[in-house]
């Protein structure tokens, strides 16, 4: 009796919408889900252990592939979905073309996302600049479709991967964790250039964000940690330029701002003049009156 009942339950739906018996279908779906779970865990462990690039992107791609095969395996237990190729073949050409056109951008972004993951022009945490889009910020996420950049204004810009892959970008982050900053100042021709250079050097060496990047050989050869050079003679000023290093872009920006303030105070105290434009205006009536006298 119990055996007959089990057979009735198992045969329910068989050959109508179930490919196998009900019990077999439940067991098959359970095995497929368990297998997908195990494969997903193993791949995740393998990626974390051996892959050094953008793990988030690869993990998402892994999830899509594993879940796609799992869904396909589960749907294949039902007769209406047992032959997906026949369903796709039954679609009209117009529908297929429409779907292809609609998915063109999505597929393009997906492929470009894979290219970014493979060649790694940037990674999460990198500070990048895209001049064509007038964007500078930190990469906070790289998905299958887009890249998210957090700007200095604390806003998030979402850019399609197709745009990111084609754009000319500057990766400001460096592997040696140092950033070159350029301090440029103009002094008048009447000012003492040597004194101005000494003041600039003293203020830079005093700043906590300054990095001494000299090699041991350069230190042994007494190469100074800060070198200020005259890079041009302008109409009313001498142009001075100093290259100074910091750990990152944020510390470099803060250091430049602090140095401009400190150097301005020192220049005022030491009599170093910043040039500014002068204009002499002569009125025609005054000239005529002066000539008459």
How far CA 50 is from CA of 36, 42, 60, 125, 153, in Å, comes to 21, 12, 16, 20, 36
**Pick from 223-227, 244-248, 278-282: least confident:** 278-282
In this structure, the answer to whether residues 16 and 54 fall within a common structural domain is: yes
Distance, CA of 48 to CA of 56 (rounded, Å):
10
Checking if the pLDDT of 269 tops 80, the result is yes
Angle of CA points 26, 27, 32, to nearest 5°: 100
Domain assignment of residue 97, yes or no: no
Same domain, 55 and 10: yes
Of the residues 137, 171, 205, which one is the last residue of a structural domain? 171
With respect to residue 30, please indicate whether it lies within any of the assigned structural domains. yes
- Residues 282 and 272: their CA atoms lie apart, in Å, by 30
Q: What is the mean pLDDT of the chain?
A: 81
Give tens-digit pLDDT for 149-189.
999 888 999 999 888 888 888 887 765 678 889 999 999 99
Q: Is residue 105 in a domain?
A: no
Point out which residues pair with 146 in neighbouring strands: 160
Q: What is the domain range of residue 129? A: 122-171
Confidence at residue 293, expressed as pLDDT on a 0 to 100 scale: 57
Tens digits of per-residue pLDDT, 116-157? 777 778 888 888 889 888 898 999 988 878 899 999 888 999
Least confident piece of the model among 215-224, 268-277, 282-291: 282-291
Count structural domains, the chain: 3
d(CA 8, CA 15): 13
Q: Does some domain include residue 68?
A: yes
Side-chain half-sphere of 113: how many Cα atoms within 13 Å?
Answer: 25
Confidence label for 8 from pLDDT (cuts 50, 70 and 90): low
CB atoms within 10 A of CB 200: 24
- 109 part of a folded domain: no
Per-residue confidence (pLDDT) for residue 1, from 0 to 100 = 47
By residue count, the chain amounts to 293
Please count the CA atoms within 13 angstroms of the CA of 186 that sit on its side-chain side: 11
Region 263-271: what's the mean pLDDT? 95
């Amino acid at each position: 009796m119990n055996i007959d009942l089990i057979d009735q339950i198992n045969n329910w739906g068989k050959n109508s919408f179930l490919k196998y018996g009900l019990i077999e279908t439940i067991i098959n779906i359970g095995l497929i889900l368990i297998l997908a779970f195990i494969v997903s865990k193993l791949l995740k462990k393998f990626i974390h252990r051996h892959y050094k690039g953008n793990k988030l992107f690869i993990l998402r791609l892994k999830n899509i592939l594993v879940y796609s095969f799992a869904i396909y395996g589960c749907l294949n237990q039902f007769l209406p979905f047992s032959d997906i190729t026949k369903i796709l073949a039954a679609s009209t050409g117009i529908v297929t073309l429409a779907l292809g056109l609609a998915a063109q951008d999505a597929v393009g972004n997906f492929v470009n996302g894979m290219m970014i993951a493979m060649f790694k022009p940037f990674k999460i945490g990198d500070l990048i600049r895209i001049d064509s889009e007038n964007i500078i910020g930190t990469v906070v996420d790289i998905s299958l479709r887009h890249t998210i950049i957090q700007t200095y204004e604390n806003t998030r810009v979402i850019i399609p991967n197709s745009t990111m892959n084609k754009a000319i970008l500057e990766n400001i982050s460096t592997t040696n964790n140092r950033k070159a900053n350029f301090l440029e100042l103009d002094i008048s021709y009447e000012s003492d250039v040597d004194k101005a250079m000494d003041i600039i050097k003293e203020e830079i060496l005093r700043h906590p964000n300054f990095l001494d990047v000299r090699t041991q050989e350069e230190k042994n050869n007494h190469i100074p940690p800060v070198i200020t050079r005259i890079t041009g003679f302008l109409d009313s000023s001498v142009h001075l330029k100093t290259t100074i290093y910091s750990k990152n872009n944020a510390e470099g920006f803060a250091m430049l701002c602090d140095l401009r303030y400190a150097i301005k105070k020192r220049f005022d105290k030491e009599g170093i003049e910043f040039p500014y434009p002068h204009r002499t205006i002569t009125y025609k009536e005054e000239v005529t009156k002066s000539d008459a006298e």
